[in-house]
Amino acid sequence: MAMPPLWDWKRAATLTFLALPLGLRAERSYRAMPRLPHDARAAALPSLSIIVPARNEARNLPGLLSSLRDLCYPGNVEVIVVDDGSTDDTACTAERFGARVLRLDGPPPGWLGKPHACHRGAEIARGEWLLFTDADMAHAVDGPRLAVSHAL
C-alpha cells in the first residue's frame, strides 16, 4: 500500500486547522439563534374542523368524541358529525358530546355514502383546516396540533 505524499498530509492538516475555528464559530452562531418557543408556534395555528362521517356509530362515537374533547389545540376547533341515515342513536350521541350534527337521508344518485358525508361536512365546516376521521378512532391529546404544525 503506497503512502500519500507528505505534502498531501500537510495540506490536509492545514485545511483541518483552518476549518476547525470556522466550524466552531458556525455552531456557536447556530446555537445563539433565537428559537420560537413551542407554545408560541402553537398559538398561531389555524382553526380546525374535525369531520366525522358516521352511520350507525352510536357505540363507537363516545370513545372518539371523548378523545376530541380532551384535545390540546390552541386554535378554534369544531367537531362535525355527519349522520348518514343512521338507524341507531348516532345523532343523539354526538349531540350529547356537543358536536355539531348534520343529518343526511342518504347519498344522491352517483354518490356513495361516506364520500358524500365527507363532502357535505366539508361544505358546512368553518375551520381553515379540515381533519377527517372515522368514528372508531381515538386521537392523542396533541395529535391534531402536531399534525397541523407539521403541515405548516
The ranges assigned to domains in the chain are 47-151
Return the pLDDT at 39.
Answer: 53
Q: Does position 40 have pLDDT exceeding 70, yes or no?
A: no
End-to-end CA distance of the chain: 54
Superfamily of domain 47-151: Spore Coat Polysaccharide Biosynthesis Protein SpsA; Chain A (3.90.550.10)
Strand-pair partners of 104: 84
What proportion of the chain, given as a percentage, has pLDDT over 90?
A: 50
Strand-pair partners of 83: 54, 103
Q: What is the mean pLDDT of residues 90-95?
A: 95
How far apart are alpha carbons 121 and 109 in whole angstroms?
18
CB atoms < 10 A from the CB of 147, how many? 15
- Whole-angstrom CA distances from 25 to 31, 38, 130, 144, 151 are 10, 26, 44, 38, 32
